Chain A
Amino acid sequence: MKILTGNDLPTGDVTWWTGSGWSRHIEDAIDVGDQGEAIARAEEGARRVNVPYVIDATPTADGPRPAHIKDRIRALGPTVRVDLTLKPADPAAGSWVI
Chain B
Amino acid sequence: MYKYDQYDQSIVDARVDEFRDQVTRRLAGQLTEDQFKPLRLMNGLYLQLHAYMLRVAIPYGTLDSRQMRTLASIARDYDRDYGHFTTRQNLQFNWIKLEDTPDILARLATVEMHAIQTSGNCIRNISSDQFAGAAADEVADPRPWAELIRQWSTFHPEFSYLPRKFKIAVIASDEDRAAMRLHDIGIQLVERDGELGGRIYVGGGMGRTPMIAPLIRDFVTADDLMSYLEAALRVYNRYGRRDNMYKARIKILVHEIGADEYRRQVEEEFLAVKALGIDPPAAELARITAMFAPPAFDTDAPDAVDRSDPDFAVWLDQNVRAHKQLGHAIVTISLKPVGGIPGDASSAQIDLVADLAERYSFDELRVTHAQNLVLPHVRKADLYTIWQQLTDAGLAEANLDLVTDIIACPGLDYCSLANARSIPLAQKIAVRFADRSRDLGELKLKISGCINACGHHHAGHIGILGVDKKGTENYQLSFGGSGAEDVSLAKITGPGFDEDGVVEAIERATDTYVALREEGERFLDTYRRVGMQPFKDAIYG
Contact = CB atoms under 8 A, between A and B. Distances in A.
Interface of A: 7, 9-14, 44, 47, 50-51, 67-70, 73-74, 77-81, 84
Given A10-B27, A13-B51, A70-B49, A50 B96 contact: no
A84 B344 CA distance: 14
B360 interface: no
In the A-B complex, the 8 residue pairs with the smallest Cβ-Cβ separation, listed nearest first, are: A78-B413, A12-B52, A12-B51, A10-B99, A80-B423, A11-B97, A74-B49, A80-B413
A85 to B, nearest CB: 9
Contacts of B96: 12
Contacts of B51: 7, 11-14
Contacts of B52: 12
A80 B49 contact: no
Nearest to A78: B413
Interface in B78-107: 80, 95-99
A79 B33 contact: no
A13 B95 CA distance: 9
A7 B33 CA distance: 12
Interface string B48-83: 011110000000000000000000000000001000
B147 interface: no
Interface string B460-499: 0000000000011100000000000000000000000000
B29 interface: yes
A80 B50 CA distance: 13
A12 B471 contact: no
Contacts of B49: 14, 70, 73-74
A74 B423 contact: no
24 contacts: A7-B47, A9-B27, A10-B27, A10-B98, A11-B98, A12-B50, A12-B51, A12-B98, A13-B50, A14-B50, A47-B27, A51-B33, A51-B47, A68-B471, A69-B412, A69-B471, A70-B416, A73-B412, A73-B413, A73-B421, A74-B50, A79-B421, A80-B341, A81-B413
A70 B412 contact: yes
Contact of B29 (A7, A14, A47, A51): A47
Chain B binding surface SS class: mixed
A20 B455 CA distance: 41
Given A11-B97, A13-B51, A77-B50, A84 B424 contact: no
B97 A80 contact: no
A6 B47 CA distance: 11
Nearest to A77: B50
A24 to B, nearest CB: 11
B318 interface: no
A1 B26 CA distance: 32
B427 interface: yes
Nearest to A14: B50
Contact of A78 (B26, B50, B97): B50
Interface in B409-447: 412-414, 416, 418, 421, 423-424, 427
A30 to B, nearest CB: 22
Given A10-B98, A51-B33, A51-B47, A80 B473 contact: no
Interface of B: 26-27, 29, 33, 47, 49-52, 80, 95-99, 341, 412-414, 416, 418, 421, 423-424, 427, 471-473
Contacts of A13: 50-51
A79 B50 contact: no
Q: Which of A70, A74, A79 gathers most chain B CB within 10 Å? A: A70
A94 to B, nearest CB: 8
Nearest to B45: A12
Contacts of A73: 49, 412-413, 421
Given A9-B98, A50-B47, 13 more contacts: A10-B99, A11-B98, A12-B98, A69-B412, A70-B418, A73-B421, A78-B414, A79-B413, A79-B421, A79-B424, A80-B421, A80-B423, A81-B341
Interface centre among B412, B414, B473 (most CB of A within 10 A): B412
A23 to B, nearest CB: 15
Contacts of B27: 9-10, 47
A55 B427 CA distance: 30
B97 A10 contact: yes
A96 to B, nearest CB: 14
A67 B471 contact: yes
A84 B414 CA distance: 12
B42 to A, nearest CB: 18
A11 B27 CA distance: 11
Nearest to A10: B99
A11 B99 contact: yes
B442 to A, nearest CB: 26
B163 to A, nearest CB: 24
Given A7-B47, A69-B473, A12 B97 contact: yes
A9 B424 CA distance: 30
Nearest to B419: A70
Contacts of B424: 79-80
Contacts of B29: 47
Nearest to B472: A69
Nearest to B410: A78
A9 B27 CA distance: 7
Nearest to A67: B471
B314 to A, nearest CB: 27
